[in-house]
Amino acid sequence: MKNLKNIAQAMVSPGKGILAADESTPTCTKRFTALKIESTESSRNRYRSMLLSANNLNQYISGVILFDETFYQNMIDTSQTIPQYLKSKNILTGIKVDTGAKSLAKHPGEKITEGLDNLRERLQKYHMEGADFAKWRAVITINKNIPSDTCMHANAHALARYASLCQENSIVPIVEPEVLMEGNHNINTCYEVTDKILKIVFQELKLLKVDLEAMVLKPNMVLSGLENNEKISEDTVAKMTYDVLNKNVPKEVPGIAFLSGGQSSDLATQRLNNLNKLYGNEKSWNLTFSYGRGLQQDALLNWATGNTKKAQEALIYRAKMNQHASLGKL
């Protein structure tokens, strides 16, 4: 399996993390509209080009996850494709290959991620055109009586089928089972559900012969629901998050890159720092970031006011803070 292990290691190498800029067009439009920015192919291109051309991004960012539209665009006002540009900056190119989370039949309130049809052919094409790694996100919702075992098994199986197809086609898979923060559940429930989904995901990865050394796990942290007001110390958050990963993630996996999932940018940074500070010496994988909102929020706010320079500085500031956090040095 040529180079895949090296790519996976590079994605999570010490002091580096991943920029998730793969919002689907509807999600990007929602974020733009909230700030009164018109969402067109061209405005999305300008925004993503602004992010990627921030000064010295490659000091902090090992790879960028792109949406299909961006993958085929040029850097604004140049004839260089975005994957070519990233390569010239020594940044790995990632591509979101799932086609979204859809309602799971006969399971109200639950989702199954789709995108396996023709995935082999799509991966071959992306690989030829410069993709180094891919992402597939499964979402697990907590509510009364859910998640069901069915939802967890179906999503874990799809993640494993995706991951094995990626490796077959020389692409490193990011395996992302996200337990959502939405809801009023307590932190113990998040722990139990995260524990269960990780267990099933690694069973399925094994069944599908996925090489654990050539993948990156992208999980949620263990947190109480957004509408739950229980007071939990940050050390407890770190302890429960580390514990659930330590129980379930084999040491062969080179790295774990968290999603930010609706935490504030500051909290996402602090929590990553706390994890590395408290458990840096005993963990067997690198613990870093693969943030979307956690890296982009401030940059987007500044860009919305027309200040490109400030937007790029905001992105770099966030990337730098997360770099320190990934080393436990804040």
CA atoms within 13 A on the CB side of 253: 25
The two tokens of residue 11 are 């994605």
Q: Report if residue 115 touches ligand 13P, rule: CB under 6 A.
A: no
Of 146 and 180, CB closest to ligand 13P: 180
Distances (CA, A) of 131 to 66, 93, 322: 10, 5, 24
User: Please, what is the minimum distance in Å from the beta carbon of residue 310 to ligand 13P?
Assistant: 21
Pick from 82, 73, 65, 85: nearest CA to 19? 65
Clarify whether 218 is annotated catalytic: yes
CB nearer ligand 13P, residue 147 or residue 292: 292
Q: Which is nearer to ligand 13P, 137 or 185 (CB)?
A: 137
Q: Give least dist CB 241 to ligand 13P, A.
A: 15
Give the pair of three-digit tokens for residue 243: 């514990």
> How does DSSP assign 57-98, residue by residue?
GGGTEEEEEE-HHHHTSBSTTSSSBHHHHHHHTT-EEEEE--
Q: Which stretch binds ligand 13P (CB under 6 A): 38-46, 149-157, 288-296, 318-326?
A: 288-296
- Of 261, 118, 292, whose CA–CA distance to 190 is shortest? 261
Total number of residues that touch ligand 13P (CB under 6 A): 10
How does strand 101-103 pair with strand 111-113? antiparallel
Q: Which of 111, 135, 196, 218 is catalytic?
A: 218
Task: Work out whether 260 is an interface residue with ligand 13P (CB under 6 A).
Answer: yes
Closest residue to ligand 13P: CB criterion: 292
Among 293, 311, 321, 323, binds ligand 13P (CB under 6 A): 293
Using CB under 6 A as the binding rule, whether residue 137 contacts ligand 13P is answered as yes
Output the six-digit token pair for 128: 């030829």
Region of 26-34, 160-168, 200-208, 289-297 interacting with ligand 13P (CB under 6 A): 289-297
Q: How far is the CB of 51 from ligand 13P (least distance, A)?
A: 14
Alpha carbons 8 and 36: distance in angstroms, whole number = 38
Which range binds ligand 13P by CB under 6 A, 146-154, 224-232, 248-256, 290-298?
290-298
Residue choice 71, 294, 300, 314 for contact with ligand 13P (CB under 6 A): 294
Sole binder of ligand 13P in the list 292, 311, 316, 327 (CB under 6 A): 292
C-alpha distances in Å from residue 138, one per residue of 77, 108, 210, 212, 246: 35, 16, 17, 18, 21
261 binds ligand 13P (CB under 6 A): yes
**Whole-number Å distance between alpha carbons of 166 and 119:** 9
* Type of residue found at 100: G
Is the separation of the CB atoms in 19 and 264 below 8 Å? Answer: no
CA angle 154, 293, 25 (to 5 degrees): 70
x/- track of binding to ligand 13P for residues 174-213 (CB under 6 A): --x-------------------------------------
133 burial level (CB within 10 Å; 0-12, 13-18, 19+): buried
Nearest distance from residue 296's CB to ligand 13P, in Å? Answer: 8
The active-site residue out of 176, 178, 196, 204 is: 176
Q: Which is nearer to ligand 13P, 176 or 204 (CB)?
A: 176
Active site residue 239: no
39-73 core/surface letters (b: 16 or more CB in 10 A; e: else): beeeebbebbbbbbebeebbebbbbbbbbbebbeb
Q: Which stretch binds ligand 13P (CB under 6 A): 80-88, 118-126, 183-191, 291-299?
A: 291-299
Q: Among all residues, which ones are annotated catalytic?
A: 176, 218
Residues at the contact surface with ligand 13P, assessed by CB under 6 A: 20, 137, 176, 259-261, 291-294
